[in-house]
């Protein structure tokens, strides 16, 4: 098992390098001259040239990428921000906390609500509860996070004055963003739980469990849920990716000083090293979550485990 | 008796084609049974008509400022009110449908074309081709699609065609993977072997035999894909990386209305509603298509 | 004289779906005595499995529904029991072996745990004894107890069916319902499983309701046979009588369609026509459209079961003349 995990971690490295290369190359294409951005459009050409040389911008593309890669792997350094001239890594670590909390809260909300509601819906298929849930879940899927966020602000901050609409320091400030970001995932996980439970409930081994005289709630919660968990886990993994993307918008709407907003601001300021750092941060977080999901698979399903041990 | 024999000996491809046509009719017949899917289809048709006849439907120009009429609440003159420059929101939403539809369909077109090429060659040739293409897909997938689109927009800068390219490229992996697995499950079938024995080229086999047989999952994915593309494009514009202000893009309208949400919520309410309705329509249509294409999946 | 362990009276079960009302079991009457093995024979779709699920009260609802009848087990009507009483009966007094061993075990639970589960549910014994007992059951069906902690996917089909049998026997049930236990298995493994069931039946004096469409299997281990057609039992007798003197035209047809080793026949006779559509059962005797001896009254009246010789019942007007001419 540990061998499998190690192998998976090693497999992450080429992917991270690949992403960094693609994004590095993409940002190379981005319009505007960083030096002119820093010094202003009317700067002395000599000064500009000196700074270009100092920042290593005159080297060929591959040399610069090689240097970036070397620094990233050996020194865990992603360069300095063009804007603040401080290390990108420091800035990202400072901004990571709200983003991580936001994503963790949202996925927790999604799991805690989605799985139980999905189970009840499946067990009581076609009941009023099921129908109402499915309608709400359908609406939840159609609701883009940026609009839901605005609606929540309008209702809870503007009209009712119950919750703050910006910042991310107190728990009350975290409620609206987590709800806005988690809503779509609640819907997706509910629907997935329901459909995979429905499929499992009809399978032969559930009939066997009932024929043994097992109580219905044990049949559902142990036998059926255990088997339905694999597709649910996959969904949770992909939803986490969606959450990381949605976090960018959520942070913009609720003025949360996280990595997502840093990324958007840096793109507008053409702060290339910072953008690159933010994107790598998301890629690494996403990769770690996928790794965790893959490891969880093997705990849930012995067939997967035996394939790798 | 003679007649029956004649039908049976007619070429197998003709049979398959005729079956295909009958199947299409059958699929539409099943789709018609789902009220929700038909509502979705109706909304999409309406949206397409709105986009085509925007010039006749919109009572005002989408970019003409009317500074005497800023922030007007919905009224007879402006049924959805006006924005911070006094522009008619209804007209802007009507013209915005053009942008959303363009972004939705063209970016899915880009993703579909590249996804089919990558997925089909990967599944069909296997081996090294498969390995290299799949590593490329892995890298694309190592970022959530909206973030990949953000990265591409960061490189390309704002603009409609850039937006379509960014959203399209970012959603390649989904299509490529579906097509690859369909190709893998189909390519060893007898009819493919038969085509090969008849001397068909690889390209011909892929286009004539394999792709038509994995059309069902592609259609479903593409329908839902249009919805994702519209949401992603609106999201990019919302954070200021997609289309810039004068353009009547729904996400950009939300973004500019956001600053006035306390006093003039109608500025964010209506563009958002437009997005939700379109996404809803595409989702229920996609679900309906999935059930109609594979009746076994439906309980 | 004989104690009936299970007696089914006038049982009807139907499935209601969008496409119509399917009458799977119609006015079925059946009995099984203690220690007896009853073969329950019929074509696919004759309602055998539905009957079995009906006894277990596991007919999926919706779409299935028990319309009428009684299922008397040890003197009590199972259809009147509440859910709690029913769960303590299932797996304990009545257990079931399902048709497809490949899918009837929980793929994410060790086989040991799955056997333990049924013991834990019905026996009030300490945990270590449960394990010992489960291991013993595994060995009884011929699987080494070292494999206790293996998962179903590590077993072959025949082995899985042994595990299912071990589970079914773990609480010494009074009645085992075996739903085509050998259909999904290879011929050699079929023989082993049948041999195993025969042994166990003698050892524990269990009654077995063996559902099958294979008269060969019936000949091997059954004491009595009931022939099922379109949801009701049309002939019932002990094995010698039924095999030596099949009465109902359908039963006769079944025997004629088996290739025989002793006789030299050029062509196998088949029963003409197809089994009736359970959503549109024919009027009168349900077999009449396929029956070679069809009479006018068969088309309108349903023949009641009559005892032609001792313990040999048949539902057919052909045998009606001398016994009950006029009620």
Nearest CA in chain C to A208: C104
What pLDDT score does B57 carry? 85
Residues B271-299, mean pLDDT to the nearest whole number? 83
- Identify whether A68 is part of a domain: yes
Q: Which of residues 119-148 of B touch A (CB under 8 A)?
A: 135, 138-139, 142-147
Asked if pLDDT for residue B258 goes beyond 80, the answer is yes
Strand pairing report for C94-97 and C175-179:
parallel
HSE-up of residue C166 (Cα within 13 Å, Cβ side): 28
Counted domains in chain A: 2
What pLDDT score does B1 carry? 38
**Are A31 and A161 in the same domain?**
no
**Are A183 and A148 in the same domain?**
yes
Nearest CA in chain A to C169: A212
- Identify whether A84 is part of a domain: no
**Are A113 and A148 in the same domain?**
yes
Nearest CA in chain B to A239: B144
Smallest CA–CA separation between A129 and chain C, in Å?
17
pLDDT band at A309 (very low <50, low <70, confident <90, very high): low
How far apart (Å, rounded) are the C-alpha atoms in residues B9 and A300? Answer: 53
What pLDDT score does A131 carry? 94
Question: Is there a contact between B208 and B17 (Cβ–Cβ < 8 Å)?
Answer: no
- Identify whether B249 is part of a domain: yes
Q: Do chains B and A touch (3 or more CB pairs under 8 A)?
A: yes
Q: CB–CB of C91 and A226 under 8 A?
A: no
The percent of residues above 70 in pLDDT, for chain A, comes to: 97
Residues 6+ apart with CB under 8 A from C60: A202, C53
Question: Is there a contact between A180 and A154 (Cβ–Cβ < 8 Å)?
Answer: no
Asked if pLDDT for residue A35 goes beyond 50, the answer is yes
Tokens 């694309």: give the residue: B140
- Convert C217-271 into a string of H (helix), E (strand) and C (coil): HHHHHCCEEEEEECCEEEEEEEHHHHHHCCCCHHHHHHHHCCCCCCCCCCCCCCC
**Which of A73, A106, A129 is the C-terminal boundary of a domain?**
A73
- Return the minimum-mean-pLDDT range out of B130-134, B202-206, C36-40: B202-206
- The more confidently predicted of residues A119 and C317 is A119
Q: Whose CA is closest to A196, among A115, A296, A293?
A: A115
Tokens 């994995």: give the residue: B214
Question: Is there a contact between A118 and A189 (Cβ–Cβ < 8 Å)?
Answer: yes
Tokens 């197809």: give the residue: C274
- Write the CATH number for B256: 1.10.3720.10
Q: Which of residues 240-259 of B touch A (CB under 8 A)?
A: 240-241, 251, 254, 258
- Identify whether B70 is part of a domain: no
Query: Which chain A residues are closer than 8 Å to B250 by Cβ?
Result: none
Strand pairing report for C207-212 and C306-309:
unpaired
- Identify whether B72 is part of a domain: no
Q: How many interface pairs between A and B have CB atoms less than 8 angstroms apart?
A: 122
How far apart (Å, rounded) are the C-alpha atoms in residues B189 and B202? Answer: 15
* Whole-complex ipTM: 0.88
- Identify whether B9 is part of a domain: no
Smallest CA–CA separation between A202 and chain C, in Å?
9
- From the first residue on, what is the mean pLDDT of each consecutive set of 10 residues in chain C (327 residues)? 77 84 84 88 83 88 84 86 87 87 88 91 89 88 88 88 88 88 77 81 86 85 89 87 86 79 66 77 82 80 82 83 46
- The more confidently predicted of residues B83 and A282 is A282
Asked if pLDDT for residue A52 goes beyond 70, the answer is yes
What pLDDT score does B225 carry? 93
Smallest CA–CA separation between B126 and chain A, in Å?
21
HSE-up of residue A219 (Cα within 13 Å, Cβ side): 22
Q: CB–CB of C98 and A211 under 8 A?
A: yes
| Facing residue for B143 by CB, picked from A147, A264, A283 | A283
Q: CB–CB of C121 and A203 under 8 A?
A: no
Q: CB–CB of A144 and B235 under 8 A?
A: yes
Q: CB burial class (10 A; 0-12, 13-18, 19+) of residue C281? A: middle
- Report the neighbours of A using a cutoff of 3 or more CB pairs below 8 angstroms: B, C
- Report the neighbours of C using a cutoff of 3 or more CB pairs below 8 angstroms: A
Does the CB of A245 have a partner CB in chain B at under 8 Å?
yes
Strand pairing report for C175-179 and C207-212:
parallel
What pLDDT score does A193 carry? 95
What pLDDT score does B168 carry? 95
**Are A267 and A300 in the same domain?**
yes
**Are A69 and A101 in the same domain?**
no
The b/e string for A29-52 (b: 16+ C-beta within 10 A; e otherwise) is ebeeebbeebeeeeeeeeebeebb
**Are A58 and A146 in the same domain?**
no
Q: How far is CA A214 from the centre of its chain?
A: 40
- Identify whether A235 is part of a domain: yes
pLDDT in tens, B214-256: 788 888 889 999 999 999 999 999 998 988 878 888 988 888 8
- The more confidently predicted of residues B75 and B132 is B132
Q: Do chains A and C touch (3 or more CB pairs under 8 A)?
A: yes
The percent of residues above 90 in pLDDT, for chain B, comes to: 36
Question: Is there a contact between A190 and A133 (Cβ–Cβ < 8 Å)?
Answer: yes
What pLDDT score does A179 carry? 93
Paired tokens of B180: 């690859």
Nearest CA in chain A to B233: A144
- CA dihedral in degrees (A236, A238, A240, A242; nearest 10)? -130
**Are A129 and A163 in the same domain?**
yes
What pLDDT score does A79 carry? 83
Smallest CA–CA separation between B151 and chain A, in Å?
7
- Identify whether A86 is part of a domain: no
Query: Which chain A residues are closer than 8 Å to C108 by Cβ?
Result: 226-227, 300-302
Nearest CA in chain B to A146: B235
Q: CB–CB of A15 and B139 under 8 A?
A: yes
Counted domains in chain B: 1
Paired tokens of A138: 């359908």
Query: Which chain C residues are closer than 8 Å to A227 by Cβ?
Result: 106-108
DSSP notation for C52-73: HHHHHT---TTTEEEEEEEEEE
pLDDT in tens, B11-40: 344 334 444 566 777 888 888 888 889 999
Residues 6+ apart with CB under 8 A from C288: C282, C294, C298, C299
**Are A166 and A266 in the same domain?**
yes
What pLDDT score does B163 carry? 94
Angle of CA points C223, C241, C274, to nearest 5°: 90
Residues 6+ apart with CB under 8 A from B11: none
Alpha-carbon torsion B193, B198, B202, B204, what sign?
Answer: negative
What pLDDT score does B5 carry? 39
Tokens 């329509």: give the residue: B281
Report the mean per-residue pLDDT for chain A.
88
Question: Is there a contact between B249 and B99 (Cβ–Cβ < 8 Å)?
Answer: yes
Question: Is there a contact between C45 and C214 (Cβ–Cβ < 8 Å)?
Answer: no
Smallest CA–CA separation between C264 and chain A, in Å?
43
| Facing residue for C108 by CB, picked from A207, A212, A301 | A301
Query: Which chain B residues are closer than 8 Å to A146 by Cβ?
Result: 234-235, 238-239, 251, 254
Smallest CA–CA separation between B9 and chain A, in Å?
42
The percent of residues above 70 in pLDDT, for chain B, comes to: 91
Paired tokens of A272: 């290339």
The alpha-helical segments, DSSP class H, found in C175-222 are 187-204, 215-221
Query: Which chain B residues are closer than 8 Å to A231 by Cβ?
Result: none
In which domain, by residue range, is B151 found? Answer: 26-60+81-297
Q: Whose CA is closest to A147, among C130, C12, B271?
A: B271
| Facing residue for A205 by CB, picked from C87, C96, C104 | C104
In which domain, by residue range, is A44 found? Answer: 2-73
Q: CB–CB of A139 and B280 under 8 A?
A: yes
- Write the CATH number for A144: 1.10.3720.10
Q: CB–CB of C153 and A227 under 8 A?
A: no
Smallest CA–CA separation between A198 and chain C, in Å?
13
Query: Which chain B residues are closer than 8 Å to A144 by Cβ?
Result: 231, 234-235, 272, 275-276, 279
Question: Is residue A268 within a helix (H) or strand (E), and if so which, with residue range?
Answer: helix A259-269
**Are A63 and A171 in the same domain?**
no
């Amino acid at each position: 098992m540990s061998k499998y995990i190690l192998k998976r971690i090693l497999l992450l490295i080429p992917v991270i390098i690949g992403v960094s290369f693609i994004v590095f190359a993409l940002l190379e294409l981005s319009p505007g001259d960083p030096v002119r951005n820093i010094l202003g459009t009317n700067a002395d050409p000599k000064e500009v040239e000196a700074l270009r040389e100092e920042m290593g911008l005159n080297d060929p593309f591959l040399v610069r990428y090689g240097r970036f890669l070397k620094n990233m792997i050996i020194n865990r350094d992603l360069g300095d921000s063009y804007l603040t001239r401080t290390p990108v890594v420091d800035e990202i670590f400072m901004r990571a906390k709200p983003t991580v909390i936001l994503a963790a809260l949202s996925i927790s909300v999604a799991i805690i609500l989605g799985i139980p509601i999905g189970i009840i819906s499946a067990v009581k298929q076609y009941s009023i509860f099921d129908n109402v849930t499915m309608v709400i879940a359908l609406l939840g899927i159609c609701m883009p996070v940026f609009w839901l966020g605005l609606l929540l602000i309008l209702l809870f901050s503007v009209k009712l004055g119950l919750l703050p609409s910006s910042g991310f320091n107190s728990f009350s400030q975290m409620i609206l963003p987590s709800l806005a970001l988690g809503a779509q995932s609640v819907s997706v996980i509910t629907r997935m739980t329901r459909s995979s439970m429905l499929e499992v409930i009809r399978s032969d081994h559930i009939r066997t469990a009932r024929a043994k005289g097992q109580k219905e709630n044990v049949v559902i919660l142990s036998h059926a849920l255990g088997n339905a968990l694999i597709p649910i886990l996959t969904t949770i993994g992909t939803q986490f990716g969606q959450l990381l993307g949605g976090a960018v918008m959520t942070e913009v709407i609720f003025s949360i000083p996280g990595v997502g907003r840093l990324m958007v601001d840096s793109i507008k300021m053409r702060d290339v090293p910072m953008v690159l750092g933010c994107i790598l941060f998301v890629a690494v977080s996403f990769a770690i979550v996928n790794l965790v999901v893959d490891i969880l698979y093997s705990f849930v399903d012995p067939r997967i485990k035996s394939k790798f041990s | 008796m003679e007649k029956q024999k004649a039908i049976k000996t007619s070429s197998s491809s003709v049979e398959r084609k005729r079956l295909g046509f009958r199947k299409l009719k059958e699929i539409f017949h099943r789709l018609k049974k789902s009220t929700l899917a038909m509502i979705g289809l109706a909304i999409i048709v309406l949206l397409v008509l709105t986009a085509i006849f925007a010039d006749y439907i919109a009572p005002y120009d989408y970019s003409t400022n009317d500074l005497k009429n800023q922030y007007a609440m919905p009224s007879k003159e402006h049924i959805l009110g006006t924005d911070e420059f006094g522009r008619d929101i209804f007209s802007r939403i009507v013209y915005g449908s053009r942008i959303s539809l363009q972004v939705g369909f063209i970016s899915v077109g880009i993703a579909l074309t590249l996804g089919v090429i990558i997925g089909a060659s990967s599944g069909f040739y296997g081996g090294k081709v498969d390995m290299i293409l799949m590593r490329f897909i892995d890298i694309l997938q190592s970022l959530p699609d909206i973030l990949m689109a953000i990265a591409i927009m960061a490189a390309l800068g704002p603009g409609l065609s850039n937006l379509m390219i960014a959203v399209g490229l970012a959603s390649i992996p989904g299509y490529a993977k579906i097509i690859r697995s369909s190709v893998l499950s189909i390519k060893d079938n007898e009819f493919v072997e038969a085509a090969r024995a008849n001397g068909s080229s690889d390209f011909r086999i892929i286009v004539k035999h394999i792709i038509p047989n994995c059309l069902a999952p592609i259609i479903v994915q593409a329908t839902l894909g249009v919805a994702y593309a519209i949401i992603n494009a609106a999201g990019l514009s919302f954070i200021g990386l997609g289309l810039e202000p004068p353009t009547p893009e729904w996400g950009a309208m939300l973004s500019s209305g956001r600053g006035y949400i306390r006093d003039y919520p109608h500025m964010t309410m209506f563009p958002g509603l437009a997005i939700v309705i379109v996404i809803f329509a595409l989702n229920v249509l996609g679900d309906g298509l999935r059930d109609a294409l594979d009746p076994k999946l439906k309980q | 004289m004989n104690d009936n362990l299970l007696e089914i009276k006038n049982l009807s079960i139907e499935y209601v779906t969008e496409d119509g009302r399917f009458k799977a079991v119609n006015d079925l009457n059946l009995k099984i005595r203690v220690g007896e093995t009853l073969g329950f024979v019929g074509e696919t779709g004759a309602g055998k499995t539905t009957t079995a699920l009906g006894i277990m009260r596991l007919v999926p609802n919706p779409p299935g529904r028990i319309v009428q009848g009684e299922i008397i087990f040890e003197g009590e009507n199972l259809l009147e029991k509440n859910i709690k009483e029913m769960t303590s009966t299932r797996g304990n007094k009545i257990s079931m072996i399902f048709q497809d061993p490949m899918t009837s075990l929980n793929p994410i639970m060790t086989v040991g745990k799955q056997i333990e589960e049924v013991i834990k549910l019905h026996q009030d014994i300490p945990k270590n004894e449960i394990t010992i007992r489960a291991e013993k059951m595994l060995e009884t069906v011929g699987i080494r107890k070292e494999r206790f902690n293996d998962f179903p996917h590590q077993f072959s089909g025949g082995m899985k069916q042994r595990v299912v049998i071990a589970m079914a026997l773990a609480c010494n049930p009074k009645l085992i319902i075996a739903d085509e236990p050998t259909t999904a298995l290879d011929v050699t493994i079929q023989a082993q499983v049948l041999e195993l069931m025969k042994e166990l039946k003698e050892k524990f004096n269990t009654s077995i309701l063996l559902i099958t469409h294979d008269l060969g299997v019936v000949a091997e281990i059954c004491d009595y046979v009931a022939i099922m057609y379109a949801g009701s039992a049309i002939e019932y007798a002990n094995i010698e009588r039924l095999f030596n003197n099949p009465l109902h035209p359908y039963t006769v047809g079944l025997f004629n369609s088996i290739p025989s080793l002793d006789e030299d026949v050029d062509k196998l006779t088949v029963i003409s026509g197809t089994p009736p559509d359970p959503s549109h059962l024919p009027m009168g005797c349900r077999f009449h459209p396929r029956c070679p001896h069809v009479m006018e009254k068969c088309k309108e009246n349903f023949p009641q079961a009559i005892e032609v010789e001792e313990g040999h019942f048949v539902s057919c007007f052909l045998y009606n003349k001398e016994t009950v001419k006029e009620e």
